[in-house]
Structures are given as structure tokens and as C-alpha cells.
Amino acid sequence: MPELPEVETVRRQLINLIRDETIARVEAPFPPIITHDLHWFQDTIKDQVIRDLDRKGKFLIFMLDRHAMIIHLRMEGRFHIKKDEPVLKHEHAIFHFASGRNLRYHDVRKFGRITLVEKDRVMHHPGIAALAPEPKHLDVNHFYRRLKHKRVAVKTALLDQRLVAGLGNIYVDETLFHAGIHPKRLTSSLTKKQVVRMVEHATHVLARAVELGGATIRSYQAITGVHGRFQNELAVHTKKDEPCPICQTPIIKIKVGGRGTYVCPKCQQ
């Protein structure tokens, strides 16, 4: 699944390709990908210009003239820019531009959804309204108090977008390794110092991943087909049986909340 660094990479690459394009018409070979009546959506978005492309957590927000189009890539969503090419099986929404090019939303699992809202209603979108701040914007004292009042595994807490936005499986594993915290540790047992360290490492891990264009693991690739490079710097994620980069103990894989989780059993006791 694309996580915050991958979605930010898509945003940065895509805006340079589609800014100021006028949407002439929209096709939806798989109508449920649009959360509205299809005809209303097509009529409303027609002739609007893409002015900017924003991001909140893992949501992409296309800023148009009068509306904002909100898209979550879910498991395997991605975009392609094409012109005069046949529609492929998994291209479920096609935005035809007045220039003759088109933007295609490709999603093998069909989990993604496209929503259109008035521009001043973006923060009222249910998914966005529920988002907590990203690590770099967290009030650490408030975050610490919220964790102390919970009794869940710290990995489960970090994956909860209502507590902290933008962290997914890859980056939680990396954050907890660098912070020296076991993913099954209960949040109520964390010290203030550990929470501060965890937030600092989460901020650094995400920033470094954005700098390197995300991590190309499984199905993710950015809009232009340029693969991310952060996977070359992963310390534990996907590294089962490989030596820990700090103590050389073999990395193990466990399950936390049903998610495959990579841990150094010595550094993260």
C-alpha cells in the first residue's frame, strides 16, 4: 500500500504534469470508483481546471476551480498520463483534458474512491476530518497523554490515523526499530522520553523516505514509473533472518494486530 512518502512523491510528480489542465470529460468504466451519481459528477467537474494538488495524510486533493476532488489510493491505486491509447482493464476513471491528454486512475483491487466536494468543505470529508496531525506536527505532550490512556500495542497505535497520520506498516517498523521499542509494547507503559524519541524517529524516517521518493515494495511505483529508493535504506522491514544493522542479531518476523512486523529481538526487547 502506498504510504505517506509514496503519496507525497506521486503528488510532487503529478502536479508538474497536470497543473492548468482543463477537464473536458470523464469516463468511469467502473462507476463505483466514483462516490456520487456518475452523471452529476461528470457534469459538475466538466470544464474545471486543475489549479493545484494537495495532500492530507494519504489523501490526494485535486484543487479545481470550484471543487476539490479527493482520492485515496488504498492498496494499489496509481495514475498514468496517456494520449490516444486503448483503455486497459484496470483503468477505472479517465479524465480527458482539453489538451488531448488524459489522466487515468489504475486500481487492480478497485479499493480506491473518488469524491468531489466544494473547496471550502475539504476538511469536512469524513476521512480527512478524522485525521490526526502527521508526526512532524504532533503536540508531543498531547500525544503522550493519549497513548497513556490506551492499552494497545504501540504498533497498533501508530497505524491508527486518528492518533498520528501518515504512518503505515513499513514506516512504523522502521520507526520502532530506530526508537528501540518493541512493537508489542503497550502504549500505557511508554515513558515520555520514549514517546519523544519515537516521534523524532518517525519524523526523520518519513522525511528521508520522501527525499528518496518512497519505498518501491511490491506494487508501488510513482506516476512517471520512477521507482523509490528508500527500500535500500530499510533497517528491518522485509529483512527477516538478515543481521540487525546495529547488533547483528537476525531480524525476526512476528504478527502484531494481524500485520507482518519485523523486529530485532535484541535492540527492541
Positions annotated as catalytic residues are 2-3, 58, 259
Provide the H-helix boundaries in the chain: 4-18, 38-45, 126-129, 140-148, 154-158, 169-179, 192-211
Dihedral (C-alpha) 166, 168, 171, 177: value to the nearest 10 degrees?
A: 120
Residue 117: closest CA among 173, 168, 180, 48: 48
**Angstrom distance (rounded) from CA 191 to CA 22:** 52
Q: Residue 186's beta-bridge partner residues?
A: 153
Length of the chain: 269
